[in-house]
Amino acid sequence: MDAREKVNALEQVAQAELQAVQAPGAAVAVVYEDEVLLAKVFGIANSETKAPVSADMLFRIGSVTKVITAYTLLSLMHEQRLNVHTPIGEYVPDLPQLLKSLTVHQLLSHTAGLKDDDSDYGPHDEGALGKAVRHYDQRHFCAEPGTIFSYSGLGYAIAGVVIEAIGKKSYAQVVTERILNPLQMRRSTFSLTQAMTYPFSQGHRATASGSWNLVRPYDDNATRWPAGFLFSNVIELARFSMAFMNGGQFEGEQVLGPEVISTLAQAHAQPPDAPEGRSYGYGLYLGEYAGMRTLEHSGGRRGFCSFLQMFPEQRFAIIQLVNQANVLLKKTQEKALELVLSPPSHSSTPLPDSFPTPSEGNTLIGCYASPDINATENDDIRIVRKDNRLMLHFGDESKALPVLKRSETRFAIRPSPELQPIELVLQQGLNKQEEYLCWANRAYKRRT
């Protein structure tokens, strides 16, 4: 199959999948070595005007922003010979006392014991980031720092303030100088009003009838920019991935630090509920696919979904941006891998699912508090035994799923037959009296 035939084959898969998942539009880029093999767009950017998606069109990239934040902070620290295990109070002395003892390592590896906050709306001015972080208190913590992995956008917000203190400029200015400008990512921005001067996609939510509604108002929250609010497009993210996989070189120039890239790509934390072989670096998940090492992160904002996956040894990457939440083009991803790398057949032996016996899983029974900063008791997870079955309730009491046994220490729920199980692992805290139910990369503290 020649290059043109491969492109045609991938386009057909992507177009069919976009229709199958009922998303309005998407942009996909495939990188191999020093070349963008493919940058294709599908569907519409606005369901009301029917304007088409274009390759240079900006999307919110959600938590893919985290690798940008992590690189920026680590590059500053590397240049100034600062230690990631030094309490950040050394760099930002006016932080609240509770935050001063945290370390950059904990913030970037999601081990700072912080809750998560996915607030889509907030202030727009850059100064809001520092103001918000300097008001964090005990309510923002779900565990003792350094004791457990729990995914937290708040940790990356604090990292943004550390960037401002060390870089002596606003978070967005430092990122622009250290990543966006050197890589000619000229349209990428955190500013909504700047993004509006370029073609940009609207975010969408699906309706029960199969159509879409635009997300209004457009989301923006400067207090969370470092965690997930960058605007970018597939062309500019392709430049970042090429440099990242090429030891920091781009178009013959050294634009990123190879030592910093190496540090980001090392395993720094182990999510208790992660499958074997999967860990977290700084701003990236580490894993493997068909025997090949992967570095990746997904992202989501209101009305948007994104995914960056890199195969560093093969210098292959695929980027996808979709203008509907919780939708990714998995078959398109796999087809791109097949066409470019021709990996061996990728199939993992699934763990057998069975129902726990009456004596098994009793340790799970209880109520667990959500680690979301905005959560109430209505967002708790409750595991109860009903008719000799363990059932997990979350949010609405009518939402209940049977708990499955996967091994002696791992359990799971399956939200629907076509989805992979979500694993559940019970883990003790530092003082052995606290317990956490770990699932979906977050730690829910036991209430009862």
Q: Cis link prior to 217 (omega < 30° from 0)?
A: yes
Mean pLDDT over 221-232 rounds to 98
Per-residue b or e along 35-64, where b marks 16 or more CB atoms closer than 10 Å to that residue's CB: ebbbbbbbbbbbbeeeeebebbbbbbbbbb
Q: Collapsing DSSP states into helix, strand and coil, what is residue 292?
A: strand
> DSSP per residue over 66-89, as a string?
HHHHHHHHHHHHHHTT--TTSBGG
Q: Helix 3-21 crosses helix 330-340 at what angle (to 10 degrees)?
A: 170
Cα 228 from Cα 157, distance rounded (Å): 9
Position of tokens 């720094």? 268
Contact (CB, 8 A) for 89 and 82: no
Q: Which two tokens stand for residue 24?
A: 């309005």
Please return the burial class of 247, using the count of CB atoms within 10 Å of its CB with bins 0-12, 13-18 and 19+. Answer: middle
Residue 347, pLDDT score: 58
Instruction: Check pLDDT > 80 for residue 419.
Output: no
Cα 337 from Cα 309, distance rounded (Å): 11
Domain architecture of the chain: domains with CATH: 23-348 (3.40.710.10), 362-446 (2.40.128.50)
Instruction: Check pLDDT > 80 for residue 431.
Output: no
Q: How many CB atoms lie within 10 A of CB 325?
A: 18
pLDDT in tens, 308-360: 999 999 999 999 999 999 999 999 999 999 999 988 765 555 656 788 887 88
Contact (CB, 8 A) for 325 and 203: yes
Residue 4, pLDDT score: 78
Mean pLDDT over 213-226 rounds to 97
pTM of the model: 0.95
Mean pLDDT over 215-236 rounds to 98
Q: Sheet harboring 292-301: ordered strands across?
A: 35-43, 25-32, 316-322, 304-311, 292-301, 285-289, 279-280
